[in-house]
């Protein structure tokens, strides 16, 4: 495996695989580029021609209509051609290897792969293969691999925090819930550390907090009330239904009583604390509706910024940044 497989030989971002290993400069550049796209979506014509003629392939080996849609919108607003491959019915299903499928799509002159896969590392495997084949103009965006990483979600979370809190240097951020299985939490933690957040807390039952948290410089907290105290940012995680089988967790009701974010628990955070959630929400499981719909929730802002962040990532990877203002298509 290459030293830092996300960067090309000039140290520029050529794939987005993880927030781990991204420098502060690169993250900041992505967020700054995203800021130029936030305005576009308010215009009458929401398109820019930065990726016109480029072919973006959505390769979702694990189904996720929501995430696929955000990438499809982002790519279309950049004027790319988007091709959604129904992987479960494709050649891969007919016994072709993953890399043969990739080779074929490269031969069709694909420009970008947006990859979601249940196996951690699948997007790395593809990026490494492209490097080995000398295909330096084809880019990979990890849209979630196993429990490993979901970097665009991590970046849109950073965008949201910066938007509401301006700077990272004095923040206390709590991440609450099933951190063990969460690629979102892992991507958030790496980015928060890199951007200089001094205190990151992980809150949840012992069975759902991974051991490596201490090594990552994250404070572990099993008590919700204590963990949330004086926080500036609270990131609630989705509780996967399949975890609720009794071995890792008691019932959903019991979980909500202890770790669900209610207005009462939220009162312990700073008065201007923001509440985030990657969606889709389980109301009444990890978050109360009064909080989800309350004034401190920025959950829908995350979605809006997410489109701009994905547009930023795609245009930076393609080497098609906006220069002076936004040209209309």
Footprint of a second copy (CB under 8 A): 41-47, 52-55, 63, 65-66, 69-70, 72-73, 76-77, 81, 83, 85-87, 89-91, 94-97, 100-101, 103-109, 241, 279-283, 300-301, 303-304, 306-307
Alpha-carbon radius of gyration of the chain: 20
On whether the CB atoms of residues 160 and 191 are closer than 8 A, the answer is no
* Contact call for residues 49 and 286 (beta carbons, < 8 A): no
Question: In the chain, which ranges are E strands?
Answer: 55-60, 81-85, 112-117, 139-145, 172-176, 199-203, 219-221, 233-236, 274-276
Question: Distance between CA 77 and CA 75 in Å, rounded?
Answer: 5
The closest alpha carbon to 157, from 37, 321, 298, 272, belongs to 298
Taking the C-alpha atoms of residue 290 and residue 310, their distance in angstroms, rounded to an integer, is: 30
Q: Which residue has the tokens 């955000």?
A: 70
- Paired with 59 in beta bridges are 85, 115
Q: How far is the CB of 91 from a second copy (least distance, A)?
A: 4
Helices 299-317 and 151-165: angle between axes, nearest 10 degrees = 120
**Helix, strand, coil percentages, rounded to 5, for the chain:** 40, 15, 45
């Amino acid at each position: 495996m290459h030293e830092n497989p996300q960067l090309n030989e000039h140290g520029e971002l050529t794939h987005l695989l993880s927030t781990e290993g991204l420098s502060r400069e690169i993250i900041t550049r992505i967020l700054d580029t995203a800021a130029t796209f936030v305005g576009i979506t308010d215009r009458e014509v929401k398109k820019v021609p930065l990726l016109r003629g480029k072919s973006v392939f959505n390769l979702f080996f694990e189904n996720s209509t929501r995430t696929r849609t955000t990438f499809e919108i982002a790519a279309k607003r950049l004027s790319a051609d988007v091709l959604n491959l129904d992987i479960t019915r494709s050649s891969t299903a007919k016994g072709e290897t993953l890399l043969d499928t990739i080779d074929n799509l490269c031969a069709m002159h694909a420009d970008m792969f947006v990859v979601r896969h249940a196996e951690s590392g699948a997007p790395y495997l593809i990026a490494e293969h492209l490097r080995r084949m000398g295909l330096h103009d084809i880019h990979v965006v990890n849209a979630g691999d196993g429990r490993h990483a979901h970097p665009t979600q991590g970046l849109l979370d950073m965008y949201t925090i910066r938007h509401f809190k301006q700077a990272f240097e004095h923040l206390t951020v709590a991440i609450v819930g099933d951190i063990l299985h969460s690629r979102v939490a892992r991507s958030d933690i790496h980015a928060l550390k890199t951007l200089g957040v001094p205190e990151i807390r992980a809150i949840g039952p012992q069975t759902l907090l991974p051991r490596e948290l201490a090594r990552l410089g994250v404070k572990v907290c099993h008590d919700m009330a204590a963990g949330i105290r004086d926080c500036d940012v609270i990131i609630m995680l989705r509780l996967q239904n399949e975890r609720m089988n009794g071995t890792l967790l008691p019932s959903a009701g019991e979980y909500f009583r202890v770790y669900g974010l209610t207005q009462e628990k939220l009162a312990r955070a700073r008065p201007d604390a923001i509440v985030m959630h990657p969606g889709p929400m389980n109301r009444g499981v990890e978050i109360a509706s009064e909080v989800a719909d309350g004034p401190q929730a920025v959950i829908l802002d995350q979605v809006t910024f997410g489109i701009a962040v994905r547009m930023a990532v795609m245009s930076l990877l393609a080497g098609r940044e906006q220069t002076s203002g936004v040209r209309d298509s």
